[in-house]
């Protein structure tokens, strides 16, 4: 039974949709929503808290807070970055820079790894539990047919390896654990806005639609799926 949930990155488009839909899907659960925004509300069965992603002590404190009374049964990481001030996806080798790589790996790889470090040990060890991090199909090496986006692709591929490693380790303690990456499709958000021009209308999803599909995917996964990455339509994203 899902009764204690943590959502990290709850103020973003996907994170907010996860928080809202989980509150409806599991009305008896306690939901801890963490974001960089200053919290000032508690809604339904959801409590909102501020977290400082740049401070590992803040991440550790968040994990302790979420698991203070009960072990966690579901963790969702909805943080991520594709572009930022002065950081845009590269179209060619000449656009590579250490600054871009450091920034994208910091947010897309290192942060989820540190969240996993502190939150995964707080999962229940005697029942089905879920740890899901938003990844991306472009992190697939075998599916890369267009090239470009060096830092973003690499940071998501590295995230997928962290998920695989964590699945092996946590699986030794809980045979029912499901540790996965999720590809939400192209979601209408600040992250994707500059790159929506060539996306067919039917393939540009609202956050609510994408998360609804992802929650169905999560409900149907078992321990044998742990360590893999799945798209919104339930299909596995090949490494």
pLDDT(192) > 60? no
Q: What is the Cα–Cα distance from 20 to 48, expressed in whole angstroms?
A: 12
pLDDT, tens digit (0-9, with 9 covering 90-100), for 62-92: 999 999 999 999 999 999 999 887 789 999 9
User: Is 236 inside a domain boundary?
Assistant: no
pTM of the model: 0.93
User: Is 206 inside a domain boundary?
Assistant: yes
pLDDT, tens digit (0-9, with 9 covering 90-100), for 44-53: 799 999 999 9
Structural domains of the chain, count: 1
Alpha helices in 5-149 (DSSP H): 13-25, 56-66, 98-105, 111-119
User: Is 160 inside a domain boundary?
Assistant: yes
Q: What is the Cα–Cα distance from 153 to 167, expressed in whole angstroms?
A: 21
pLDDT band at 190 (very low <50, low <70, confident <90, very high): low
Predicted confidence at residue 159, as pLDDT, reads: 98
Beta strands in 3-93 (DSSP E): 4-8, 30-35, 42-43, 46-50, 74-77
Q: What is the Cα–Cα distance from 49 to 55, expressed in whole angstroms?
A: 15
Q: Taking all residues of the chain, what is their mean pLDDT, rounded to a whole number?
A: 93
Q: What is the residue range of 174's domain?
A: 4-231
pLDDT band at 141 (very low <50, low <70, confident <90, very high): very high
pLDDT(111) > 90? yes
Residue 56 near residue 116 (C-beta atoms within 8 A): no
CATH code where residue 138 lies: 3.40.50.720
- To which residue do tokens 């045979």 refer? 175
């Amino acid at each position: 039974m899902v009764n204690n949930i943590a959502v990290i990155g709850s103020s973003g488009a996907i994170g907010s949709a996860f928080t809202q839909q989980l509150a409806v899907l599991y009305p008896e659960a306690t939901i801890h929503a963490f974001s960089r925004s200053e919290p000032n509300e508690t809604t339904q069965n959801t409590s909102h808290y501020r977290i400082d992603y740049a401070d590992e002590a803040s991440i550790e404190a968040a994990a302790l807070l979420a698991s203070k009374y009960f072990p966690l049964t579901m963790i969702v990481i909805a943080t991520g970055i594709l572009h930022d001030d002065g950081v845009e996806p590269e179209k060619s080798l000449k656009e590579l820079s250490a600054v871009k790589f450091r920034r994208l790996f910091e947010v897309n790889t290192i942060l989820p790894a540190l969240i996993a470090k502190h939150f995964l040990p707080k999962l229940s060890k005697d029942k089905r539990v879920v740890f899901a991090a938003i990844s991306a199909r472009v992190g697939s090496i075998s599916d890369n047919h267009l090239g470009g986006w060096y830092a973003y692709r690499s940071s998501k591929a590295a995230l997928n390896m962290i998920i695989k490693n964590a699945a092996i380790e946590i699986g030794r303690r809980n045979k029912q654990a499901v540790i996965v990456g999720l590809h939400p499709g192209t979601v209408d958000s600040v992250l994707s806005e500059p790159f929506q021009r060539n996306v067919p209308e039917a393939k540009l999803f609202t956050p609510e639609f994408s998360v609804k599909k992802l929650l169905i995917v999560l409900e149907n996964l078992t321990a044998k799926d742990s360590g893999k990455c799945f798209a919104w339509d339930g299909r596995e994203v090949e490494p």
